[in-house]
Amino acid sequence: MVKFEKILSSIILKLKTKIPGIDVQSQDIKEGFSRPSFFVELDNIKIDDFMKNVQEKNITARIIYFPSSKEKNQLELLQMMDSLNDCFLVDNVLKLDEDTTTQIETINIEEVDNVLHLDFDIYIAEMYIRDIITEMMEELNLE
Protein backbone atom coordinates (compact mmCIF):
# COMPACT_ATOMS: atom_id res chain seq x y z
CA MET A 1 0.00 0.00 0.00
CA VAL A 2 1.27 3.43 -0.90
CA LYS A 3 1.71 5.53 2.25
CA PHE A 4 0.68 9.19 2.44
CA GLU A 5 4.25 10.23 3.17
CA LYS A 6 5.33 8.60 -0.12
CA ILE A 7 2.60 10.44 -2.04
CA LEU A 8 3.76 13.77 -0.62
CA SER A 9 7.40 12.90 -1.34
CA SER A 10 6.53 12.03 -4.95
CA ILE A 11 4.90 15.42 -5.50
CA ILE A 12 7.88 17.21 -3.95
CA LEU A 13 10.33 15.22 -6.08
CA LYS A 14 8.41 16.06 -9.25
CA LEU A 15 8.43 19.77 -8.35
CA LYS A 16 12.16 19.75 -7.59
CA THR A 17 12.92 17.87 -10.82
CA LYS A 18 10.68 19.84 -13.20
CA ILE A 19 11.04 23.29 -11.58
CA PRO A 20 14.55 23.31 -10.07
CA GLY A 21 15.99 26.09 -7.94
CA ILE A 22 12.88 26.81 -5.90
CA ASP A 23 12.60 25.64 -2.27
CA VAL A 24 9.82 23.19 -1.48
CA GLN A 25 8.33 23.22 2.02
CA SER A 26 6.05 20.63 3.57
CA GLN A 27 6.33 21.82 7.19
CA ASP A 28 4.06 24.42 8.70
CA ILE A 29 4.65 27.72 6.87
CA LYS A 30 3.91 29.63 10.08
CA GLU A 31 7.48 28.76 11.04
CA GLY A 32 8.69 31.05 8.25
CA PHE A 33 9.77 30.47 4.67
CA SER A 34 11.99 31.90 1.99
CA ARG A 35 10.84 33.35 -1.33
CA PRO A 36 10.35 32.05 -3.93
CA SER A 37 9.11 28.74 -2.57
CA PHE A 38 6.43 26.10 -2.77
CA PHE A 39 4.36 24.76 0.11
CA VAL A 40 2.89 21.28 -0.48
CA GLU A 41 0.22 19.47 1.53
CA LEU A 42 -2.36 16.70 1.20
CA ASP A 43 -5.98 17.49 2.01
CA ASN A 44 -9.53 16.10 1.70
CA ILE A 45 -8.40 12.52 2.14
CA LYS A 46 -11.09 9.89 1.64
CA ILE A 47 -10.40 6.16 1.94
CA ASP A 48 -12.91 3.48 0.95
CA ASP A 49 -12.68 -0.28 1.49
CA PHE A 50 -14.26 -1.57 -1.72
CA MET A 51 -15.47 -5.17 -1.55
CA LYS A 52 -13.12 -5.82 1.40
CA ASN A 53 -10.15 -6.33 -0.94
CA VAL A 54 -9.50 -2.98 -2.66
CA GLN A 55 -8.53 0.20 -0.87
CA GLU A 56 -9.49 3.33 -2.79
CA LYS A 57 -7.87 6.63 -1.86
CA ASN A 58 -9.08 10.01 -3.08
CA ILE A 59 -6.68 12.79 -2.10
CA THR A 60 -6.42 16.47 -2.94
CA ALA A 61 -2.87 17.73 -3.35
CA ARG A 62 -2.38 21.46 -2.70
CA ILE A 63 0.62 23.44 -3.85
CA ILE A 64 1.03 27.09 -2.88
CA TYR A 65 3.62 29.18 -4.68
CA PHE A 66 5.06 32.21 -2.93
CA PRO A 67 6.68 34.45 -5.58
CA SER A 68 9.97 36.33 -5.16
CA SER A 69 8.20 39.55 -4.21
CA LYS A 70 4.93 40.18 -2.41
CA GLU A 71 4.04 42.89 -4.93
CA LYS A 72 4.36 43.45 -8.67
CA ASN A 73 4.64 39.78 -9.42
CA GLN A 74 2.02 39.20 -12.13
CA LEU A 75 4.52 38.14 -14.81
CA GLU A 76 6.25 35.73 -12.40
CA LEU A 77 2.90 34.19 -11.43
CA LEU A 78 1.87 33.77 -15.09
CA GLN A 79 5.19 32.07 -15.88
CA MET A 80 4.78 29.79 -12.86
CA MET A 81 1.24 28.87 -13.98
CA ASP A 82 2.76 27.66 -17.26
CA SER A 83 5.50 25.74 -15.44
CA LEU A 84 3.02 24.06 -13.09
CA ASN A 85 0.75 23.20 -16.00
CA ASP A 86 3.69 21.54 -17.78
CA CYS A 87 4.75 19.77 -14.59
CA PHE A 88 1.42 18.27 -13.57
CA LEU A 89 -0.89 18.29 -16.60
CA VAL A 90 1.27 18.02 -19.72
CA ASP A 91 3.41 15.41 -17.92
CA ASN A 92 0.47 14.11 -15.91
CA VAL A 93 1.96 10.85 -14.60
CA LEU A 94 2.89 10.85 -10.92
CA LYS A 95 5.12 7.91 -9.94
CA LEU A 96 4.33 6.96 -6.35
CA ASP A 97 6.64 3.95 -6.00
CA GLU A 98 8.19 1.22 -8.16
CA ASP A 99 4.83 -0.42 -8.89
CA THR A 100 2.32 2.42 -8.59
CA THR A 101 1.62 5.45 -10.75
CA THR A 102 -1.40 7.68 -11.06
CA GLN A 103 -2.49 10.22 -13.64
CA ILE A 104 -3.52 13.78 -12.94
CA GLU A 105 -6.51 14.71 -15.07
CA THR A 106 -7.40 18.22 -13.92
CA ILE A 107 -5.54 20.99 -12.13
CA ASN A 108 -7.09 24.09 -10.60
CA ILE A 109 -5.00 27.25 -10.38
CA GLU A 110 -6.02 30.51 -8.78
CA GLU A 111 -4.29 33.61 -7.50
CA VAL A 112 -5.19 34.79 -4.02
CA ASP A 113 -3.46 37.82 -2.46
CA ASN A 114 -0.56 37.65 -4.96
CA VAL A 115 0.07 33.99 -4.11
CA LEU A 116 -0.57 31.11 -6.51
CA HIS A 117 -2.74 28.20 -5.34
CA LEU A 118 -2.83 24.95 -7.31
CA ASP A 119 -4.70 21.79 -6.47
CA PHE A 120 -5.39 18.47 -8.14
CA ASP A 121 -6.98 15.19 -7.16
CA ILE A 122 -5.16 11.89 -6.88
CA TYR A 123 -6.98 8.57 -7.13
CA ILE A 124 -5.32 5.32 -6.07
CA ALA A 125 -6.94 1.87 -5.99
CA GLU A 126 -4.86 -0.95 -4.51
CA MET A 127 -5.79 -4.59 -3.99
CA TYR A 128 -4.82 -6.17 -0.70
CA ILE A 129 -5.28 -9.42 1.15
CA ARG A 130 -7.21 -9.07 4.35
CA ASP A 131 -5.30 -10.52 7.30
CA ILE A 132 -8.34 -10.89 9.52
CA ILE A 133 -9.86 -14.35 9.30
CA THR A 134 -13.34 -14.81 10.68
CA GLU A 135 -15.08 -18.08 11.23
CA MET A 136 -18.38 -18.55 9.52
CA MET A 137 -21.38 -19.56 11.59
CA GLU A 138 -22.16 -23.23 10.99
CA GLU A 139 -25.66 -23.54 12.32
CA LEU A 140 -28.27 -21.04 13.36
CA ASN A 141 -31.20 -22.13 15.50
CA LEU A 142 -34.26 -19.91 15.54
CA GLU A 143 -36.96 -20.41 18.15
Q: Residue 16: enclosing H or E segment and its boundaries?
A: helix 4-18
pLDDT in tens, 65-85: 999 998 889 999 999 999 999
**Cα–Cα distance for residue pair 40/21, rounded to 1 Å:** 16
Beta strands in 1-143 (DSSP E): 23-25, 37-50, 54-66, 93-95, 101-103, 107-112, 115-127
Tens-digit pLDDT string for the chain (143 aa): 899 999 999 999 999 999 999 999 877 667 678 899 999 999 999 999 888 789 999 999 999 999 999 888 999 999 999 999 999 999 999 999 988 999 999 999 999 999 999 999 999 999 887 776 666 667 767 77
pLDDT in tens, 22-42: 999 877 667 678 899 999 999
